[in-house]
Amino acid sequence: MTGDNVYGDDELAALYDLVYSDYDHDLDLYAGFARRGETPSLELCVGSGRVALHLARAGLRVVGIDASRPMLARLQAALDERTAPNIRLVEGDVRAVDLGERFDMVYCALDSFEQMLTPDDAAATLRCVARHLAPGGAFVAELRTLRSVDWSGEPSPLRHEWTRAGADGSTVSKFSSMRASLASQTTTTALIFDRVPAGGGPVHRRAFDVTLRVFTRAEVELLLRAAGLRLAHVYGDAGLSPFTDDSDTMIIVAEGEGS
C-alpha cells in the first residue's frame, strides 16, 4: 500500500486470497522462529492471515497489524474456536503504529516489506520493528534479490497464469505482465483478473498495477542500522539455505543492536 492500497476493497481482498491461498513455502520458517519466543509474535502487514492463521492453528499467539479493513475482515471471518484466542488484530499503518508492547519475533512475510517504496517508508517501518522488538528478539522478513528480476526494461509479454474456481462458483483467470525500473529500483506488475459468473454471463474484468521495491542486501543492512537494528543472518530461502549468488530471495534475520 503506502500509495494506493491494492487491498483496499472486498473484491481485491478476495482476489488476494485466490492468488496466495496455496503459498506455504514460508509457514514453517515463521512457526520455527515463533516457537523460540515466549511472547506472541507480531506480524506487520498481516493481510488476510495466511501466515498468522498457520501459527494460531499450531497454538502460537500472534498480533497482526494491517491498514486494510477488508483484509482484516477476511482474517476475522476465518477465525474459529481454536484460532480466535491466539490472534489479536490491529488496524493501523506499520510506519506509525506503537502498541507499547515488545515481542520476541516481529515478521513481515512474502513481499510485504517491498511495499515500502521509498527509503523514508522503509526506515519508518523498521523503526516500528525496533520499538516492538524485545531484547534478544528477532525480526524476520523475506525479500526478493536483484538477481530475481529481469532488468531489461521491457515489459514481459502478458501471460495467462491460471484459471481457478472462485469461492462463489465463478471462474477466475489471472493474467500478468511485469516491467522493472532500475532508476526507481521497482517492479510494476500489471494484473488482470477476468471473472466469468457461475452459469455463464458477461465477463467482469478487474485490472490494476502492483509496484514493489527491490532492496539490495547492503541497503537493508544500512536501513536496519539506522533504525537501531543489526543484520544477524541472511539466508537464501525459507528453508534457511545459505545465501549465494544464485539466490532469488533473501531471508533476513535482524536483532536489536544491544542483543
Ligand X SMILES: C[S@@+](CC[C@H](N)C(=O)[O-])C[C@H]1O[C@@H](n2cnc3c(N)ncnc32)[C@H](O)[C@@H]1O
Which residues form the interface with ligand X (CB under 6 A)? 1-2, 5, 7, 20, 45-47, 50-51, 65-68, 71, 93-95, 109-112, 115
CB of 231 to ligand X, least distance (A): 21
Q: Which residues make Cβ contacts (< 8 Å) with residue 32, sequence separation at least 6?
A: none
Grid cell for residue 23: 503459498
Q: How far apart are CA 248 and CA 89, in angstroms?
A: 31
Closer by beta carbon to ligand X, 50 or else 195: 50
| Residue 143 CB coordination number (10 Å) | 24
CB of 153 to ligand X, least distance (A): 25
CB of 33 to ligand X, least distance (A): 14
Q: DSSP class of residue 157?
A: P
- Own/partner pairs for 116-121, CB < 8 Å, 24+ apart? 116/2, 116/213, 117/2, 117/3, 117/184, 117/186, 117/211, 117/212, 117/213, 119/223, 121/2, 121/95
CB closest to ligand X, residue no: 47
CB of 215 to ligand X, least distance (A): 15
116 within 8 A of 213, measured Cβ to Cβ: yes
Closer by beta carbon to ligand X, 210 or else 222: 210
Closer by beta carbon to ligand X, 6 or else 229: 6
CB of 192 to ligand X, least distance (A): 18
Closer by beta carbon to ligand X, 92 or else 197: 92
| Residue 153 CB coordination number (10 Å) | 10
CB of 1 to ligand X, least distance (A): 3
Closer by beta carbon to ligand X, 116 or else 220: 116
Report how far apart, in Å, the C-alpha atoms of 84 and of each of 55, 72, 187, 252 are: 12, 13, 36, 29
Closer by beta carbon to ligand X, 73 or else 196: 73
